[in-house]
Chains A and B, each alone.
Chain A
Amino acid sequence: MIKISTAQVWVHDQDEALAFYTEKLGWEVRSDVTMAEMGNFRWLTVGPVGQDDFAVVLMAVPGQPVMDDGTREQVLDLAAKGFAGTVFLTTDDVRADYEQLKARGVEFTEAPEERPYGIDAGFRDPTGNSFRLTQVNERVTAA
């Protein structure tokens, strides 16, 4: 059986991202390894407490020899525009999470609203990556 274990988001600054994902979102660090032999490449992953089989890589946008300068600029810019991808999260209580995360200074793009599929909200990480936080209707889950 093939499962999803790890997915990646581009971040402008790994320390800033680490602080956001752990202190504001409340996730835990899964690995934080810097490899001198790879030009100090830093493998930094975080994940939700209680969901051990999935992690998100907070990937710095590399320069040469991985990416040429022009490409790097494009990726940095796309991430800042919020077009580098979206992560869809689910929760048991989106309204409580919204209040808590907002109090911690998370930048919400949308407050919780009722939808046919549940109640959901949207926020961004410091880089600009978009996240949806959805409390899914039982009817939809069962379908």
Chain B
Amino acid sequence: MAYAPPTRHLTRAKDLADARFFEPLDVDDMAAAAGLSRAHFSREFRRAFGESPHQYLLTRRLERAASLLRMTDRSVADVCFSVGLQSVGSFTTSFTKTYGVSPTAYRAAFPPARAHAVVPSCVVRAYARPQGSTFREDKVTAQD
């Protein structure tokens, strides 16, 4: 097999989070995609991308949720489940912590008629993903 830096496998795990965030995916699944044990994976992922895999997956989901709040009229609970999160309560908490306003208030700030510029979706996803701060969930799985 041709040479590839170990980072290539970590990119595969990151791609998995980007592609299948709407499924009940977790850090174990990401570690499996990279072919590494969970503890080793979390350490290597943080070293390569500067944030934990848990944080990457959560902010990917929040970014997609924010997009659904802006672009659709689906309920907050529906948006929460659509991005692979299972608790509306902790979704609302994480969202509010990240965006500074509740999902409902966030939606209200964006009129539905807002014109959208034609920017490739991969660009939107990469640039609109919120910057990590600490999340309540991080304390539960601090090693991630």
Contact = CB atoms under 8 A, between A and B. Distances in A.
A140 B118 contact: yes
Given A81-B48, A82-B11, A116 B116 contact: yes
B89 to A, nearest CB: 30
A134 B123 CA distance: 13
Interface string B46-63: 001100000000000000
Contacts of A128: 4, 7-8, 11
Nearest to B48: A81
Contacts, number: 67
A76 interface: yes
Interface residues of A, number: 31
A82 B5 CA distance: 12
Contacts of B49: 81
A124 B8 CA distance: 11
A110 B18 contact: yes
Contacts of A107: 12, 15
Interface residues of B, number: 21
Task: Tell me the dominant secondary structure on chain B's binding face.
Answer: helix
Interface string A57-98: 000000000000000010011001110001010000000000
B2 A110 contact: no
A15 interface: yes
A110 B122 contact: yes
Given A107-B12, A108-B19, A126-B2, 10 more contacts: A12-B3, A13-B4, A77-B48, A109-B19, A110-B18, A110-B19, A115-B120, A116-B118, A130-B122, A140-B118
11 contacts: A12-B2, A16-B2, A80-B6, A81-B10, A108-B19, A111-B19, A120-B121, A127-B4, A128-B7, A128-B11, A134-B120
Interface of B: 2-8, 10-12, 14-15, 18-19, 48-49, 116, 118, 120-122
